[in-house]
Amino acid sequence: MSWVVLGLAMAALGCGRRAAAPAAVATPVAARPGTSTLVLFFVGEQGRLRRESREVAELPAATQARVRLVLDELLGGSRSGLASPMPWAVTVQAVFADRAGNVFVDLSAPPQPSVAGTSAELAFVYSIVNSVVANCPGVAGVQLLIGGKEVATVGNIDLRRPLAPNLDVVEP
């Protein structure tokens, strides 16, 4: 069931020209009773995001709590040896959700003012955005806040508004 929702969400919310491509969505796998199957995005060998599925205890329905658990799993790292997209020891300080389907995730501030390298920055931003949208029904966009503040960018990606998931930076 959760995979159906995930598939629909990613198909509907993905970047324009990829949105209609069902191949971009992982093969549905039914979760066992009392569990949920998460799809998280880590860094593959060529620097693009790669999906990793894992089974976790059933996720809460409430958006904010669900987002926190998804991010806890993402920040906890890959279980299949994929690289972490996090450029620093990121922690989640707060999560907010509005009624329009946007989630605001406040992350701890980095030691350096920016993230070097477009691939590194895209992996950082969209590992979070894609993971949250893929696993949280009703969430359409994610805005990253850093150190309790809205930021324009941590490099060159525009963070001034909620971002929709981007499948262009994900391995096919």
Partner 1 sequence: MRSRSGSARAIVRLALVLAAAPLLAAPGLAVPVTTPQGPVEVAVRGDLIDILALLRLTGAEVGYAPAAGSFTATLGDFEVQFTPGGSLAVADGRLLTLPGPLRQIGDSVFGSFGTASALLTPLGWSLAGSPAAPVLDRTVSRERLILTVVRAEGGVMVVVGGTTRRPRVSTAAGAVTLQFTVPIELGAPLPHAEELRGAEVAGDAITLRLAPDQEVASTYTLEDPPRFVIRLQKVQPVTGVVQQPHGPVVVIDPGHGGEDLGAQSASGAAEKDIVLAVARATAARLQAAGITARLTRERDEAIGLGERTAMANRLQAVAFVSIHVNASPARSARGAETYFMSANASDTQAAQSAARENVGASEDAVQLILWDLAYVANLNASARLARTIQERLNALQDIKDRGVRQAPFVVLTGATMPAALVELGFISNPEEAVRLQTAETQDQLAAALAEAIAEFVRTPGADAAATPAGTP
Give CA torsion, residues 28, 69, 10, 171, to 10 deg: -80
- Whether 143 and 149 have beta carbons less than 8 Å apart is answered as no
Burial class (CB within 10 angstroms; exposed 0-12, middle 13-18, buried 19+) of 92: middle
Does 30 participate in binding partner 1 (rule CB under 8 A)? no
- Considering only 141, 142, 144, 146, the residue that binds partner 1 (CB under 8 A) is 141
Q: How far is the CB of 48 from partner 1 (least distance, A)?
A: 8
Distance CA 108, CA 91 (A): 5
Does position 41 interact with partner 1 (CB under 8 A)? The reply is: no
For residue 31, the minimal CB distance to partner 1 (Å) is 19
- Contact status, residue 25 vs residue 32, Cβ threshold 8 Å: no
Least distance from partner 1 to the Cβ atom of residue 52, Å: 14
Stretch that binds partner 1, among 24-32, 33-41, 73-81, 116-124 (CB under 8 A): 116-124
Total residues contacting partner 1 by CB under 8 A comes to 57
Considering only residues 93 through 112, tell me which ones interact with partner 1, judged by CB under 8 A: 93-100, 102, 104, 106
Whole-angstrom distance, CA of residue 132 vs CA of residue 141 = 9
